[in-house]
Structure 1
Amino acid sequence: MEYIGHLLEDNNVHARLGCGAGHFYRALEGQDMSGLDVVLWQIVPGFDEISFSWMGGNTDSVFFHYGMTKLATSLGHIDPRKRGRTFCEIFGAYGWAEGLKLMKWLTDHMLVRGVNHFVPHAFSQKEFPDWDCPPHFYARGRNPQFRYYNLLNSYTNRLCHLFSDGQHVATAAVLYHAEAEWSGEYMLFQEPVKQLMQNQIDCDVVPADVLLTSAAPDGELTIHKEQYRCLIIPYAEALPIELVVKLTELAASGLPIVFIDALPTRVSQSVPYSQEIEQLAAQSNISVVPLVKLADTLREWGMFELATTDWQPYLRTYQYRHDQLETVMLFNEHPTGVLETSISLPGEGVWMRYDAFGNTLDLVGEGDNFVLDLRLSAYESAILLRIPAGNEASLPIRNGKARPASGAASRLVEPTEWQVSLATADKYPTFEHWGALTSLRNMSARDLLPRFSGTIKYECQIQDEAMSGPLWLDLGKVYETAEVWVNGQKAGVKLCAPYVWDISEYWKLGTNVLTIEVTNTLVKDQQDWFSKFVQQEPSGLLGPVKLIGPSVK
């Protein structure tokens, strides 16, 4: 039996008494895993810096997006008792507006910060509807997306396995600000963390208690299994005198220490301190850097692992190492935008891309510091694996391209009409014909089906007398889970963008029958209290639907 749990961290109360525990790290010290809970729209795509009204008042969105999860995973990394494990209670109290698309985004948000155990919230045995913190996965057979929920669980389990029992790789340690907040003017730890994450420089947040027992052999800070090339101190008017002395010692050992905006001017206690402050300031490895220059300064010093050709503030990265296996996760956290850049990957060997939904591998390239041309749709992640050259021969690497090349020829799918049928969760897979559409529309529009929750089936025929070779189907915008059949053969399921399938093996010359099932969430039918904090998305297939391939005309 093991002891796990989480605290109330909301809006920085983790370092305060009252509704908070006073100190995040001390409060979780006795547990066997580090932990956190994400509920009540604390984390929302696109609101990483914008405060919004919430049942707890106005959010500190920078904390929720850049700080909260990092607190938990940092403790998992640095505390031997945790054995590298951080769990997250997730999905609860977002309301029925939360579907599998957002669940996948939240899962990736956690994985790319180091969470490797999940406690999904929740199944309910009460009669439907149960208004206690939906969504509920099965919902007495009323949740139309439940039949796809196992796909997200399998994806999550595979990646948690990859990110367990190995070594996290991070460039920097950032001081937890609690003692500074108790002592005077201070900067919240999430401010430098945000600057680092927006520039693909990973870090852990380290409390003073742990720093006091740390060492810096060979100029690198060593805490448990973690090694950091520098230490960052958020602005603090005052710090405990014993910490000031320890920072002086670490700097003298060769560790670069960056103070944001200014050095401390005094200590937390009512004791003489001028000598200790002067000795700290005299160290050659001590630097004072403005917050906005932090990431640029570290890159000038060569303190980074991954490098992009341009600034990508929504690209999140996580690097994890096993014996003869390097794993890099890249996640586009932008709510709508496509991310395109080139990224230099560390080390030498063969790089592969792992599809954790399909459990498949595709060859990416090889060499020393291989440069990858990266394109990620909103909500999309890439899992890259590096192995020593020659080891790939024993792996089931697929032949051919997993996705269409950038700039490949395309053709719009514009049938005379789409035949549309409907099925609620309790009736699926029995559909009732609804009618025909001559163009794709939001099916939740007021003049169509504003209160329908379930599956919308689209069917059409496409004539083709010329195509050959690789062929992909791109559905464009979909709300939200999509399943595709081509000529009666199942092509697969997508929970989020990109809604693209390789349909080469199913396509034929002549008449092709395309069937698309799109399943929305229960929020149209069940307008619960928790969903009122978010703008509802459309329903159905919005397109444009395209065929993509070298022979497309």
Structure 2
Amino acid sequence: MSNYIFPFLWMRGEEEEILRREIGKINECGIQAVCVEARPHDDFCGPGWWHDMDIVLDEAKKRGMKVWILDDKHFPTGYAGGLIEKKYPERKKRYLACSVADVFGSQRPVTLNVRRMLKPAIGFWEIGNPVDYAERANNRLMAVVALRFGEGNCFAEDTIDLTDCCREGMASFTLPEGQWRVHVLYFTRTDGGNDTYINMIDAVSAHTQIEGVYEAHYEHYPEEFGKTIAGFFSDEPQFGNISDQCFDTKLGKPKMPLPWSDELEAMLTDRYGEDLRRVLPFLFAQSVEKAKEPQIRYDYMDGISRLYAKNFSRPVGAWCRAHGVEYIGHVVEDNGVHSRLGLGAAHWFRAMEGQDMAGIDVIGGQYLFGAPAQEHMAMTPCDGEFFHYTLGKLGASGGHLDPKKKGRTMCELFGAYGWSFGVRDMKRLLDHLLSQGINHLVPHAFSMAEYPDHDCPPHFYAGGHNPEFPYFAHLMRYANRMCDQLNGGTHVSSVAVLYDGELDWTCSAMPMQKVCRVLSEHQIEYDIVCLDMLRNLPGYEGFVDGGKLTINGVTFGALLVPGAEYVPGSLIAFAREHPEFPVWFVGNAPAAVLQDGDCQGANRRETDPAFAASLPVVSLEELALKIEEEGMKKIFLSEPFPLLNVYHYRKEGEVFFFMNESPDLTFDGRVSLPAGKELVIYDGFRDCCERLETGSGLVHLILEPGESCLIRECSTVSGLPKHIFPRQKLEACTGQIDLSEGWEVTCMKADGEEVLRYHEDGKLRPVSERLPAFSGVIRYEKTFLLEEEMPHACFTAQEVYEVLHVRVNDTCAGRKLTPPYQIDISGLLREGKNTITAEVATTPARDQMNYPAAPFDFTYEALEPTGMCGKIGIFSYDVN
């Protein structure tokens, strides 16, 4: 079996013994690769780093492991190992910035000190903030343009170019009647984001990343490239044009400097000619007519996203492949910023162009089990609809549809959720991602810092202080097997959803997560398709035939376009070129069509009501029924269950992965699946299959809250045992033994050191009531008598916090990482005396009370109890 997991190993200059130990612990989890990350390493790409890398590579080779390298000294990618700061200051980011002056009352001569306006205006509260005056002295004027006020803060698009009125830093002019705002546009390399980072849209500057990190590693380890060294990982490369960590970084923020380069200027000049200066202010200002404003905003975002791919993503990927390794990673996707500036890269699919796998991350509390439609508080406010219904599908779609990705999508996961985020919650997050189509994992993270490391926990081994580490290893073996089941095949989809990046550039379009949610809640499979794929179908092994669209082997019955006021002309051209293929606008039809790279002729604003009426429109409320009526839906439930996720895959037969995302409700119903062979359910923990009974083409499926299962076709089920769901065993109960009282309890630290031993006469209570600051392993032991054998039986515990390992008469019965805490102990009980040992491992969360608190808090959260409590017992069941 291949390896699908390569966790971060944070390196800060640790001793050799610690480095080798940590790699060994990673390998103990059944993991055959690691991704080293300087977090930060003070001597990155210096003698100290090479010393540590020598050790890592040596230990990896001994264990047959691969090594990935996170491609910078510190997060995020783009620092280029410090070369911009130390060697190439002339390659710093370049911005187009804007200052304004209002001229109320016109038709008289005025003079404006333009020289003084080549810097941001500030509020009194900003006096004293650091300023790079030396760099500001290099700021250069681009244009001076007057905009006539309309209502509020909107302006007429008939602008006046005053640039030629400038003499020696002063502009003298007389404006026509009206109220005006004069926009001074200038170029700068400061007063934006981090000025020690590369300019993603400048080829020379972007190449600095290759020189500073990639070439440096190749110089030291050429013989390991393509052997032990598997590739490089870019972590959240971004435009970084502002220092704020925010998501509302669409064009139109008046004080936001915009990424710029000579190549971008040439592209826009080629498009607009002498009119460029007259329209550029609408990158910052709102217009009344909404004709030139959406067009220049589209053209600007289209240009920078293409240059990001051309000058950064594709060259890095090409360099890696030329040197025998692969290039992976992800950008910031959160809350719509995947198509914006600031933390974003303007267009998720274009940002992924150079990579060998599609990539996303789900960290910092972004996905929250049981809260799919809520905005919840994590490191930042999180849009539940986006993270639950869209992010995983977005990543998986990149893997499915881009032939270069070979069906692979990587997700960085688990990091920065906090110490309370244990293996139970990791399992739920993992299964959620599997149900979206993710099949490669980068767990975040193994830290070798002194425990407790406050840097974005949880940490899986934590120097031996994490009581759940053995269970994490158990989870990783499961994860690798499940990823193997969902790799090497083809996604089976019903419809395509148009990526909303281009729609978001110019207006407040319907977020694609609104459409994705409806599809998910009705078990309608989909991929997210970007407009570039429709423009260049041959490049994605795509075609339209028989009223269906196929891209890289995935076939769609319709294209769903989230409602937007403006759409690119190439989308309409695609719809008109393929009238037999349904293109549906969800919510509303566009009011205007923008010129883009594949459209000829001048920009036109479409106002003819007949045009909008001619485009098919489906409401969100009617969408699922419309898809079903058109015969595109493939999977049906006997009763509606919106929180049942399904992923349909084809690999030597049909494969279906289900997850119950409800925190409260059990799915107990019949499912109609498009399968023609016998079906089995695959157990990823035990690596075995059990046959499923089907009747009238229906499968009876029972999934408790948070449970998942993988069902696949099998040519023969002869000899396989019948699968019995936990609830079916309970319903077939023939006898019960209540074991809720009278346990011997031993509390131990993660290293086995005993903390407390006691006998609980009555019902078990949470250990946290006795030891509120305890984290560790709690061993429960009980001896009881059986009058006769129980050939088929289960151990069950009502409440466990949070993972459980049961032994019966010194024989391992199994582990349970998530509810229901029911473990089959058939064949282990005997007549007479029996001993049950139940070990419960806690998260390290309560142990943090024993250490100085972190100087910061990303979130505040309630602590769960610890231990096993509630009703505990054994029940026998009839297998017939």
TM exceeding 0.5 = yes
Aligned equivalent of 1:228: 556
Amino acid at match of 1:62: E
Amino acid at match of 1:32: D
For residue 186 of structure 1, the aligned residue among 504, 509, 516 is 509
1:105 aligns with 2:434: no
1:381 aligns with 2:381: no
For residue 485 of structure 1, the aligned residue among 807, 814, 839 is 807
Aligned equivalent of 1:421: 746
Aligned equivalent of 1:298: 627
1:547 aligns with 2:874: yes
Q: 1:78 to 1:84 in 2, by over 3 A?
A: same
Which residues in structure 2 correspond to 1:83-122 (within 5 Å)?
83-122=406-445
Rounded to whole Å, the distance in 1 between the matches of 2:346 and 2:505 is: 10
Aligned equivalent of 1:128: 451
Rounded to whole Å, the distance in 2 between the matches of 1:550 and 1:26 is: 56
Gaps of 5+ in 2: 1-324, 538-542, 596-601
Gaps of 5+ in 1: none
Further displaced range: 188-197 or 128-137: 128-137
Which residues in structure 2 correspond to 1:396-475 (within 5 Å)?
397-398=720-721, 401=724, 403=726, 404-405=728-729, 407-409=731-733, 411=736, 413-414=738-739, 416-427=741-752, 432-445=756-769, 448-466=770-788, 468-475=790-797
Aligned equivalent of 1:31: 355
Q: 1:415 to 1:481 in 2, by over 3 A?
A: closer
Amino acid at match of 2:588: A
Percent of residue pairs bearing the same amino acid type: 37
Deviations 1:345-394 (A, max 9, x none): 21211101110001111111257x73122111222111111123xx334x
Q: 1:74 to 1:435 in 2, by over 3 A?
A: same
Q: 1:548 to 1:373 in 2, by over 3 A?
A: farther
Deviation at 1:436, TM superposition (A): 1.6
Q: 1:210 to 1:276 in 2, by over 3 A?
A: farther
Deviation at 1:500, TM superposition (A): 1.5
Deviation at 1:277, TM superposition (A): 8.7
Deviations 1:95-138 (A, max 9, x none): 11111111111111111101110011111122222111111111
Aligned equivalent of 2:832: 510
Rounded to whole Å, the distance in 2 between the matches of 1:276 and 1:352 is: 56
Amino acid at match of 2:512: F
Q: 1:434 to 1:386 in 2, by over 3 A?
A: same
Rounded to whole Å, the distance in 1 between the matches of 2:730 and 2:751 is: 41
1:255 aligns with 2:584: no
> Could you say what secondary structure the match of 1:361 adopts?
strand
Rounded to whole Å, the distance in 1 between the matches of 2:683 and 2:462 is: 30
Deviations 1:316-370 (A, max 9, x none): 11111123x2211011112343222221121211101110001111111257x73
Contact 1:348 1:366 in 2 (8 A): no
Q: 1:536 to 1:211 in 2, by over 3 A?
A: farther
Aligned equivalent of 1:266: 592
Rounded to whole Å, the distance in 1 between the matches of 2:334 and 2:725 is: 41
Rounded to whole Å, the distance in 2 between the matches of 1:522 and 1:105 is: 18
Aligned equivalent of 2:697: 370
TM-score, normalised on structure 1? 0.92
Further displaced range: 218-227 or 457-466: 457-466
Rounded to whole Å, the distance in 2 between the matches of 1:134 and 1:174 is: 35
Larger relative contact order, structure 1 or 2 (CA cutoff 8 Å, min sep 6): 1
Rounded to whole Å, the distance in 2 between the matches of 1:303 and 1:533 is: 45
Which residues in structure 2 correspond to 1:65-80 (within 5 Å)?
65-80=388-403
Amino acid at match of 2:667: L
For residue 174 of structure 1, the aligned residue among 489, 492, 497 is 497
Rounded to whole Å, the distance in 1 between the matches of 2:693 and 2:741 is: 43
Contact 2:740 2:872 in 1 (8 A): no
Q: 1:337 to 1:477 in 2, by over 3 A?
A: farther
> Could you say what secondary structure the match of 1:14 adopts?
helix
> Could you say what secondary structure the match of 2:496 adopts?
strand
Further displaced range: 454-463 or 346-355: 454-463
Aligned equivalent of 2:569: 241
Rounded to whole Å, the distance in 2 between the matches of 1:298 and 1:401 is: 34
Which residues in structure 2 correspond to 1:323-342 (within 5 Å)?
323=652, 325-342=653-670
Rounded to whole Å, the distance in 1 between the matches of 2:699 and 2:873 is: 26
Amino acid at match of 1:291: L
Rounded to whole Å, the distance in 1 between the matches of 2:392 and 2:866 is: 31
Rounded to whole Å, the distance in 1 between the matches of 2:675 and 2:741 is: 53
Rounded to whole Å, the distance in 1 between the matches of 2:872 and 2:616 is: 54
Further displaced range: 270-279 or 10-19: 270-279
Rounded to whole Å, the distance in 2 between the matches of 1:416 and 1:94 is: 35
Contact 2:656 2:712 in 1 (8 A): yes
Deviations 1:213-237 (A, max 9, x none): 3332011111112111111111111
1:318 aligns with 2:318: no
Q: 1:342 to 1:39 in 2, by over 3 A?
A: same
For residue 308 of structure 1, the aligned residue among 615, 637, 653 is 637
TM-score, normalised on structure 2? 0.58
> Could you say what secondary structure the match of 1:549 adopts?
strand
Deviation at 1:485, TM superposition (A): 1.2
Which residues in structure 2 correspond to 1:143-222 (within 5 Å)?
143-214=466-537, 215-222=543-550
Rounded to whole Å, the distance in 1 between the matches of 2:626 and 2:620 is: 10
Rounded to whole Å, the distance in 1 between the matches of 2:454 and 2:357 is: 30
Q: 1:532 to 1:279 in 2, by over 3 A?
A: closer
Deviation at 1:505, TM superposition (A): 0.6
Contact 1:40 1:530 in 2 (8 A): no
Further displaced range: 451-460 or 401-410: 401-410
Rounded to whole Å, the distance in 2 between the matches of 1:374 and 1:459 is: 34
For residue 495 of structure 1, the aligned residue among 785, 800, 817 is 817
Contact 2:788 2:830 in 1 (8 A): no
Q: 1:416 to 1:280 in 2, by over 3 A?
A: closer
Q: 1:240 to 1:357 in 2, by over 3 A?
A: same
Rounded to whole Å, the distance in 1 between the matches of 2:776 and 2:441 is: 27
For residue 525 of structure 1, the aligned residue among 840, 847, 861 is 847
Rounded to whole Å, the distance in 2 between the matches of 1:532 and 1:274 is: 47
> Could you say what secondary structure the match of 1:472 adopts?
strand
Please provide the CA RMSD for this pair: 2.3
> Could you say what secondary structure the match of 1:26 adopts?
helix
Contact 1:93 1:530 in 2 (8 A): no
1:53 aligns with 2:369: no
Deviations 1:159-193 (A, max 9, x none): 11111111111111001112222233410111100
Deviation at 1:432, TM superposition (A): 4.7
Q: 1:530 to 1:371 in 2, by over 3 A?
A: farther
Deviation at 1:408, TM superposition (A): 2.1
Greater share of helix residues, 1 or 2? 2
Rounded to whole Å, the distance in 2 between the matches of 1:379 and 1:400 is: 19
Contact 1:15 1:178 in 2 (8 A): yes
Amino acid at match of 1:536: L
Q: 1:371 to 1:126 in 2, by over 3 A?
A: same
Rounded to whole Å, the distance in 2 between the matches of 1:333 and 1:533 is: 24
Rounded to whole Å, the distance in 1 between the matches of 2:574 and 2:607 is: 14
